[in-house]
Structure 1
């Protein structure tokens, strides 16, 4: 199986790529974290630049008290980093069962297993709570309808004053994603940008 095929399947429930475990350390939000990854998950060799950019913005974002949702958690770098840095309770969800197994292991290994709940959800399908902050690096390859649902669906799952932060490359649709957010949120802004990546912020007024 080619790496391209494996990469294209990270947003499916059960990737069939042969296992190829990797381990690495990475500093996020001031903490050195250790991650185990595998084939069939997004950005298995390092924490991708978009995620790092979004976390930098999250570290400077004011949001109300409450739980955080890591939507499309993958192997868990966002949820683990936010739980570690902010001492927050995090729900970490993904459609990909292989990724979820890794996310659980990575949360435990980095000492935040008791703060996180890791479970399967196709977008917001299994989510019944409201959150202070939703963080998402949308899977562009899954298609525009999936990305739009991730962005616009946040409105129904945020506390008053809660925020969604989403990172997208300009060339992969950040301007249209901003318009999608503006269709359902009154307060939308570009909270940060770096090397072609835009971090969009929408607030539930």
Structure 2
């Protein structure tokens, strides 16, 4: 009876917040369970399901390196795209020494997209994937600089570089690889997002970066 009396005495705003909190917790729990179910599923034969080759941008360190090594362990040959030739040579050697797969490398500074140098690099990428059974594209390359600064304090060139890599390069690389997938009627495109555009409603002092990653999270590529 005491509990009932307290519930009846609770103000409407409190009950509204409690209801919204319950809905948020339920939605979060559903997404968490969905991710857990995905992790617990038996690994798929990616080569058979999608194709023999994968393209990975930014594969020389961090998440991109881990993704490249994982895909190679699953039997996929790799087209590795990065701006540093020495780092590309190292990751390609590491992949081949650990797994019985082939590799191709394309030196491409993605911040030069939509420039003469970027057009030449894009031509080399198209040549590298021409005729290959590319079934997976991982758009991993990304730039987070400038960091936490006000707009009037930011380096404009750095902001433009970030937008070129996070927005334009992702779009152009996808456009270069997608026609082959459509022709073969199979393939998967993985775009690396960020919690800055998913977990929190805003990201103070990182608004441009969060905006570029919101573009990534909203970008859907359908292959029918």
What residue number does 2:136 align with? 133
- State the distance in 1 between where 2:52 and 2:93 align: 24
Question: Would you tell me which structure has more strand in proportion to its own residues?
Answer: 1
Q: Is 2:109 the counterpart of 1:122? A: yes
Match of 1:65 in 2: 51
Q: Does 1:97 align with 2:136?
A: no
1:155: which partner in 2? 175
Instruction: Give the structure 2 partner of residue 79 of structure 1.
Output: 68
Richer in helix (by share): 2
Deviation at 1:90, TM superposition (A): 1.3
For these two proteins, the number of residue pairs brought into alignment is 127
5+ residue gaps, structure 1: 1-55, 182-187, 189-201
Q: TM-score, structure 1 length as denominator? A: 0.51
Q: Please report the TM-score for the alignment, with normalisation by the length of structure 2.
A: 0.48
> Equivalent residues in 2 for 1:165-184 (5 A)?
165-171=190-196, 172-173=209-210, 174-179=213-218, 181=219
Please report how far the alpha carbon of residue 168 of structure 1 lies from its aligned counterpart in structure 2 after TM superposition: 1.9
Structure 2, unpaired ranges of 5+: 1-38, 111-120, 145-160, 197-208
User: Which of 88, 98, 114 matches 1:110?
Assistant: 98
Superposition CA RMSD, Å:
2.9
Structure 1 partner of 2:76: 88
Deviations 1:26-75 (A, max 9, x none): xxxxxxxxxxxxxxxxxxxxxxxxxxxxxx69x66975324210112114
